[in-house]
């Protein structure tokens, strides 16, 4: 119990907590949107995120090689934006593939929802293992020498070769806010607002809400529900790709199972805010990131995850449908 540490570093803990929370929130969007539309937990979403992190690392390798070059955030901004686009594209492609291969065959057959869960777990294994075996696959086609930097040490931690040095921007209450944290928080918030407006204001957003509320009536009214589901997965993938970029910026390394725990956390964030609710995902993510950081300060880092799960259970006991427990379908324009 180290409350003194918490009080001394309150602002610093809050800022880094918010940065992590923003990453959780971006991943949580994928869970919450798919849940809103299909009422199922997309267990493989964590792997969508994981592919994004590799896309970021690969972009860095492609432009810089594996020679460590330490640059400031400002100087790396160009590279970073290329990585962001690449990660979003890769994650979105994986998410669409997932929808096509793991979900649509089941949805068209009206399989029970639990079976879709099993299919998602299977897909999650396949995706993670495929990434863990990338050196073997490259060897099959005889490209392992050419791709050495990309496939090396397939199951080990894959470092981000370009370490971007965070620099202090300004000081609040004795804590110097770093550019990395600020960038992550602001960018994530902007994306959330954009997505929220997309769902609330556009024609497609209306389609998504209609399917979330009542799939059958929506279909009768001429909403192409297959297309809506696809777009849902696409958006989830895009957001996971963005989260992956920020994650690589903050953590700087990934591996084939990096998505698993983060996925559980992000899903926790989604449930915390009220699953199926976009703003809930943001609130849940930020809250989780901050509380977890405080908890780590008070009880020690070993208890960080315990704090977040205890928080989850406590909130669900008081509000069984999450903090903002209305669903995607009920959100009015």
> Closer to other proteins at the Cβ: 242 or 275?
275
The kind and range of the H/E element at 169 are strand 168-172
> CB 5 → other proteins: shortest distance, Å?
18
- List binders of other proteins among 236-265 (CB under 8 A): 260, 264
Instruction: Give the DSSP per-residue string, 86-149.
Output: HHHHHHHHHHHHHIIIIIHHHHHTT--HHHHHHHHHHHHHHHHHHHHTHHHHHHHTT-TTTTHH
> Closer to other proteins at the Cβ: 38 or 244?
38
Nearest of 330, 331, 248, 328 to residue 32 by alpha carbon: 328
| Residue span binding other proteins (CB under 8 A) among the ranges 50-58, 103-111, 144-152, 215-223 | 103-111
Contact predicate 108/249, CB 8 Å: no
Q: What are phi and psi of 172, to 5 degrees?
A: -120, 120
Contact predicate 292/303, CB 8 Å: no
Q: Report the chain's C-alpha Rg in angstroms.
A: 20
Q: In this structure, are strands 175-178 and 168-172 parallel, antiparallel, or unpaired? A: antiparallel
Distance CA 262, CA 28 (A): 10
> Closer to other proteins at the Cβ: 63 or 137?
137
* 123 is an interface residue for other proteins by CB under 8 A: yes
* 130 is an interface residue for other proteins by CB under 8 A: yes
Among 126, 139, 147, 169, binds other proteins (CB under 8 A): 126
| Residue span binding other proteins (CB under 8 A) among the ranges 11-19, 189-197, 213-221, 267-275 | 267-275
Helix residue ranges, H only, 202-332: 203-213, 215-220, 225-250, 258-273, 278-299, 304-318
- List binders of other proteins among 40-69 (CB under 8 A): 41, 43
| Residue span binding other proteins (CB under 8 A) among the ranges 89-97, 106-114, 165-173, 205-213 | 106-114
> Closer to other proteins at the Cβ: 87 or 312?
312
| Residue span binding other proteins (CB under 8 A) among the ranges 74-82, 104-112, 159-167, 199-207 | 104-112
Length of the chain as a residue count: 333
Encoded one letter per residue, x for contact with other proteins by CB under 8 A and - for no contact, window 268-307 reads: x--x---x--------------------------xx-xx-
> CB 297 → other proteins: shortest distance, Å?
16
- Beta-bridged to residue 158, according to DSSP, are 254
- Binding-site ranges for other proteins (CB under 8 A): 35, 39, 41, 43, 101-102, 105-106, 109-112, 114-119, 121-127, 129-130, 133, 136, 260, 264, 267-268, 271, 275, 302-303, 305-306, 309-310, 312-313, 316-317, 320-322
């Amino acid at each position: 119990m180290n409350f003194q540490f918490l009080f001394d570093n309150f602002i610093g803990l809050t800022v880094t907590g918010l940065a992590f929370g923003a990453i959780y929130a971006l991943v949580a969007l994928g869970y919450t949107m798919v849940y809103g539309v299909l009422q199922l937990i997309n267990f493989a979403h964590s792997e969508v995120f994981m592919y994004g992190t590799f896309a970021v690392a690969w972009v860095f390798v492609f432009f810089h090689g594996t020679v460590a070059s330490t640059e400031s955030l400002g100087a790396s901004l160009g590279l970073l934006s290329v990585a962001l686009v690449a990660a979003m594209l890769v994650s979105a492609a994986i998410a669409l593939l997932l929808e096509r291969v793991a979900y649509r065959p089941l949805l068209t057959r009206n399989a029970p929802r639990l079976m879709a869960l099993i299919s998602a777990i299977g897909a999650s294994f396949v995706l993670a293992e495929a990434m863990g075996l990338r050196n073997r696959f490259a060897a099959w086609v005889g490209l392992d020498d050419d791709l050495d930097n990309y496939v090396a040490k397939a199951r080990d931690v894959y470092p981000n070769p370009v370490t971007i040095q965070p620099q202090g921007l300004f000081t609040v209450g004795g804590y110097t806010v770093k550019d990395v944290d600020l960038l992550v928080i602001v960018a994530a918030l902007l994306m959330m607002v954009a997505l929220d407006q997309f769902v609330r204001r556009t024609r497609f957003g209306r389609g998504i809400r209609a399917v979330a509320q009542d799939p059958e009536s929506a279909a009768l009214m001429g909403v192409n529900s297959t297309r809506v589901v696809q777009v849902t997965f696409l958006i989830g993938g895009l957001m996971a790709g963005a989260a992956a970029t920020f994650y690589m910026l903050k953590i700087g390394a990934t591996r084939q199972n990096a998505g698993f725990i983060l996925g559980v956390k992000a899903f926790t964030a989604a449930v915390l805010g009220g699953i199926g609710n976009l703003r809930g995902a943001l609130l849940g993510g930020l809250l989780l990131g901050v509380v977890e950081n405080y908890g780590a300060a008070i009880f020690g880092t070993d208890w960080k995850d315990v704090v977040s799960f205890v928080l989850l259970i406590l909130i669900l006991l008081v509000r069984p449908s999450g903090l903002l427990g209305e669903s995607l379908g009920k959100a009015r324009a």
